Structure 1
Amino acid sequence: MSLLIAGSIATDHLMTFGGKFADSLVVDQLDKLSVSFLVEDLEIRRGGVAPNMCYGLGRLGLRPVLVGAAGEDFADYRSWLERHGVDCDSVHISESRHTARFVCTTDAAMAQFASFYPGAMSEARMIELAPIVRRVGEPDYVLVGPDDPEAMRRHTEECRQRGYRFIADPSQQLAFSEGELIRELIDGATLLFSNEYESHMIQHKTGWDAEEVLARVDIQVTTLGPRGVRVQGRGLATFELPAVSDVHAVEPTGVGDAFRAGFLAGLAWGVGLERAAQVGCVLAAYVVESVGTQEYSFTAGQFVARVAGAYGQAAADEVARHLP
């Protein structure tokens, strides 16, 4: 299966605050907010939603195609991704901007304050999908993830024009996008990814209710945090799947990206939606247990054992047939 994963490419600067942000916030004074938190540590990690997903797919034995824009400082990152099975030959390299940067502080309650510098990401709008398809072949899916908003619009429109099945994953860009853009990014998608809060934001900003959103996509996958995931779609029986239990949560950044990677791997393997969601939940568990979005590793045997512990031996046996 050919998967094109379009989205931000960034480095993550991750900090940890030992207290709770809520203890320093005065609700009726938020318009005058000026706070500072003394953090305990700093981790500089590889990130960006598209490489995060590609890394997860590579760990599961697939070879995704990374579509995005980076700076000339991308060389080491490219080498890392290519060593883990990611096709980076279609990454646009800016001649004037640095690779995008995500700066995030997480407190003891797993709440986060974050900032994002787009940098070279703003040049992603210059990327066309057709030359990539000529190089790698017709894609089974093009995932359009959070990126430069104009790039997201252009990628989605090109998918419609050329008949590529696309997956809408606007997530972080929802807060900054108007309803018109969100409607354009979602309408006609084969699959829509969001978390529970984002699903309500989609409804609020588009003016569509839950049924109208579902009528415009084939499948909607909504992650529910520690409660797992909900999958629904036209002609499908809605189901909810619990998250993996026995998880020692360390840092949540990139958990959603890992879930998407696992889910897409399941689609690539043809194991069905419920099994794909199980693979996504297990991969997400590895990320939440580590600091950084691409610092986890496992053997095929370890992954299969974790699937068995969470979802039963039948699930493990089916997944085992597809792992390298």
Structure 2
Amino acid sequence: MRLVITGSIATDHLATFPGRFADQLIPDQLSHISLSFLVDDLEVRRGGVAANIAFGLGLLGLAPCLVGSVGPDFDEYRVWLKEHGVDTEHVRVSSRHRTARFMCTTDQDQNQIASFYAGAMAEAARIDLCGVVGGTGGTGLVLVAPNAPEAMIRHTRQCAELGVPFAADPSQQLPRLTRDEVRLLVSGARWLFTNDYEAALLAELSGWTRQEILSRVGAWITTRGAHGVTLATAGGAQQSFPAVPSAAVADPTGVGDAFRAGFLAGTSWGLPVEVAIPLGCAMATRALETVGPQQYTVSPADLLTRVADTYGDQVRDRIALCLDLPS
């Protein structure tokens, strides 16, 4: 069954600030901030949440279907994604706008300040998911990742109409959503993805308690950076999973997307959530060790070693039965 990944496709402009953002903030001046950071470098990379997740899934051999809106400058990026196992047939090309841009500066504590220009992504709501799902040879799950809000709403509604399981990943778009929109995007999701901060923001924006949110989703998965991942379900005890350690941290951009790729690959193979999360964490650490969200590579031996070292041989062996990649 195919995975359909909807959401942003963008070019990332990534800069590094050698100091700490927090050191530049004056508490009694926060109401009128005017700051400029002199950065040490600038990397221009391929990105966008949906494209990053699809890239990770492609590395794992799943041939995901990517759905999003881009500009006429997408040709080279399309070739890159196809070379890495991503189906780009349903990527819409705008005749008016260029592909979206993500501009992000990271400080020495791995904190980030970013801006996002939508560009062609603003037209993503014109994509009819009905035609996409009907043409993928059987869709196992649709991921509704950050996108133009109108597109996220339309695609969530279409999943409900078509009876297709979906996962909700509103993350970066939460500040742009109304209470009713947040509730619509979450309700009925098989998986709900957030990071720690987004989890609190989602609860505040939705007006629902944590338990009320859990009663409306299959499971709520929260990434917590170096503190790992938590899994919560209605009526169940919260489970915690440690992060896979790394001695070579390079760039946090796209780490959460790599986690989602590993997790979704695992669950699409029929692995239990408790095994899919470790695979996601191993993928996240691989992404953390490179600059740019689509510069990392994976090999079975490396992933399985990382999983075994952190979660034990039994978890590794479950994943090894499914992981069939060229060494």
TM-score range normalised by the length of the shorter chain: over 0.9
1:235 positional shift: 5.6
Correspondence for 1:156: 156
The Cα offsets for residues 198-234 of structure 1, whole Å up to 9 and x where unpaired, read as 1111111111010000011111111111111111223
* More divergent stretch after superposition (119-128 vs 249-258): 249-258
Which range moves more in the overlay, 298-307 or 197-206? 298-307
Question: Higher mean Cα deviation, 120-129 or 23-32?
Answer: 23-32
Q: Counterpart amino acid of 2:311?
A: Y
Letter of the 2:319 counterpart? V
Give deviations 1:246-299, integer Å, cap 9, x for gaps: 443221111111111110011011110111000000000011111100100122
Matched residues, percent identical?
50
**Are 1:78 and 2:71 counterparts?**
no
- Give distance in 2, aligned partners of 1:297 and 1:31: 43
Number of the residue aligned with 1:38: 38
User: Helix, strand or coil for the counterpart of 2:135?
Assistant: helix
Alignment of 1:145-294 (within 5 A): 145-234=145-234, 236-294=236-294
Matched, 1:14 2:14: yes
**In 2, are the aligned partners of 1:103 and 1:115 still within 8 Å (CA)?**
yes
One-letter identity of the residue aligned with 1:39: V
2:149·2:176 contact (CA, 8 Å) conserved in 1?
Answer: no
Gaps of 5+ in 1: none
Query: Corresponding residue for 2:114?
Result: 114
1:137-177 Cα shifts (integer Å, max 9, x gaps): 23111000000000000000111111111111000001221
Using the alignment, how far apart are the partners of 1:87 and 1:206 within structure 2? Answer: 34
CA displacement 1:93-124 (0-9 Å, x = unmatched): 00110000000000111111101000000110
* Cross-structure match for 1:25: 25
**249-258 or 233-242, which deviates more:** 233-242
Q: Distance in 2 between matches of 1:217 and 1:230?
A: 15
- Secondary structure at the residue paired with 2:307? helix
Is the CA contact (8 Å cut-off) linking 1:247 and 1:285 kept in structure 2?
Answer: no
Q: Give the CA deviation at 1:21.
A: 1.2
What is the CA–CA distance in structure 2 between the aligned matches of 1:237 and 1:19, rounded to whole Å? 40
Shift of the alpha carbon at 1:316?
1.7
Deviates more, 1:241-250 or 1:175-184: 241-250
Tell me, yes or no, if the aligned pair for 2:179 and 2:205 is still in contact at 8 Å: yes
State the 1:236 CA deviation. Answer: 4.5
Q: Gaps (5+ residues) in structure 2?
A: none
Following TM superposition, where does structure 1 have runs of at least 4 consecutive aligned residues deviating by more than 6 angstroms? none
- Higher mean alpha-carbon deviation, 41-50 vs 176-185, is at 176-185
> Which secondary structure does the structure 2 equivalent of 1:296 belong to?
coil
Match of 2:131 in 1: 131
Whole-Å separation in 1 of the counterparts to 2:63 and 2:242: 28
**Amino acid in structure 2 at the alignment position of 1:315:** V
| CA distance in 1: counterparts of 2:235 and 2:263, whole angstroms | 19
- For residues 35-59 of structure 1, the C-alpha deviation after alignment (integer angstroms, 9 at most, x for no partner) is 1111000000000000100011111
Stretch moving more, 144-153 or 180-189? 180-189
Equivalent AA in structure 2 for residue 280 of structure 1? G
Q: Distance in 2 between matches of 1:218 and 1:73?
A: 39
Residue type of the partner of 2:98?
H
Which shifted more, 20-29 or 47-56? Answer: 20-29
3-state DSSP class of the match of 2:139? coil
Alignment length (residue pairs):
324
The Cα RMSD (Å) is 1.1
AA matched with 2:288: V
Where 2:143 maps in the other structure, the secondary structure is strand
Render the CA deviation track for 1:304-323: whole Å, top value 9, x for unaligned.
22222222222222212212
Matches of 1:316 and 1:191, distance apart in 2: 23
